[in-house]
């Protein structure tokens, strides 16, 4: 449990993402249900099990990951990082990894969309492995199908991410485009 309430861990545009403003339809009902159950089960999770949300753009991956984060952030230490942005900051020099390694829950948004190199893979391995060994759960979102993680992220990252988390696929329309009537 938190002793001191931190500043909101989510960027302003993602703070409003909740389960109540997520439209549930047959194509996303299962991921929605598993994410709400994950919040319920979170206090008892011991193994560091997290979630992997995949699917096409605009199907609600970031929304659902942030709904989990928003539901837990009052009681737990939650951190959020957009992977390409995180790696860009890390390239810039000194970077405090501790919050990402130690938070009770970390959201790694958009894994796979970073510019890939041995350096980025190594940085991501440090975070993923560092959290695994301390049984700290992570929620990943990605546009890549889990079957392609190996190719996109490399065997070592793919094995750790897929071996410790429940994978969920978001189907349905691109809600971004729908909003503007496309």
Ligand X SMILES: Nc1ncnc2c1ncn2[C@@H]1O[C@H](COP(=O)(O)OP(=O)(O)OP(=O)(O)O)[C@@H](O)[C@H]1O
Answer yes or no whether residue 28 interacts with ligand X by CB under 6 A.
yes
Kindly state the helix (H) or strand (E) to which residue 24 belongs, with its residue range.
Answer: none
Task: Give the number of other Cβ atoms within 10 Å of residue 172's Cβ.
Answer: 16
Nearest to 42 by CA among 67, 24, 61: 67
Q: What's the closest the beta carbon of residue 5 comes to ligand X, in angstroms?
A: 25
Segment interacting with ligand X, rule: CB under 6 A, options 20-28, 71-79, 82-90, 131-139: 20-28
Segment interacting with ligand X, rule: CB under 6 A, options 51-59, 86-94, 98-106, 127-135: 51-59
Segment interacting with ligand X, rule: CB under 6 A, options 50-58, 70-78, 94-102, 156-164: 50-58
Task: Look at residue 23 and give the partner it binds from Mg ion, ligand X, none, a contact being a CB closer than 5 to 8 Å depending on partner kind.
Answer: ligand X
Give the Å distances, CA to CA, from 48 to 9, 114, 173.
20, 24, 31
Q: Site for ligand X (CB under 6 A): which residue of 35, 51, 59, 78? A: 59
Residues 101-160 that bind ligand X (CB under 6 A): 110, 141, 143
Q: Site for ligand X (CB under 6 A): which residue of 30, 33, 43, 57? A: 57
Tell me the C-alpha distance between 105 and 73, whole Å: 9
Residue count of the chain: 182
Residue holding tokens 């193994």?
47
What DSSP string runs through 51-67? Answer: EEEEESTTSSHHHHHHH
**DSSP summary character for residue 44:** G
Task: Look at residue 143 and give the partner it binds from ligand X, Mg ion, none, a contact being a CB closer than 5 to 8 Å depending on partner kind.
Answer: ligand X
**Burial class of 23 by CB neighbour count within 10 A (0 to 12, 13 to 18, 19+):** exposed
Task: Look at residue 59 and give the partner it binds from ligand X, Mg ion, none, a contact being a CB closer than 5 to 8 Å depending on partner kind.
Answer: ligand X
Q: Tell me which residues touch ligand X (CB under 6 A).
A: 17, 22-23, 28, 55, 57-63, 110, 141, 143, 170, 175-176
């Amino acid at each position: 449990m938190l002793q001191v309430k931190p500043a909101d861990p989510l960027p302003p545009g993602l703070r409003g993402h909740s389960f109540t403003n997520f439209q549930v339809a047959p194509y996303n009902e299962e991921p929605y249900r598993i994410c709400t159950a994950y919040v319920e089960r979170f206090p008892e999770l011991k193994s560091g099990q997290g979630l992997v949300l995949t699917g096409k753009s605009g199907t609600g991956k970031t929304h659902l990951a942030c709904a989990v984060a928003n539901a837990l952030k009052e009681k737990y230490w939650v951190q959020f990082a957009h992977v390409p942005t995180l790696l860009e900051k890390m390239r810039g020099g000194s970077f405090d990894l501790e919050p990402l390694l130690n938070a009770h829950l970390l959201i790694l948004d958009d894994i796979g969309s970073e510019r890939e190199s041995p350096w980025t893979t190594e940085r991501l391995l440090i975070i993923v492995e560092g959290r695994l060994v301390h049984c700290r759960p992570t929620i990943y979102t990605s546009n890549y199908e889990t079957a392609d993680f190996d190719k996109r992220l490399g065997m070592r990252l793919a094995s750790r991410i897929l071996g410790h988390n429940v994978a969920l696929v978001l189907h349905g329309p691109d809600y971004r485009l729908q909003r503007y009537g496309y």
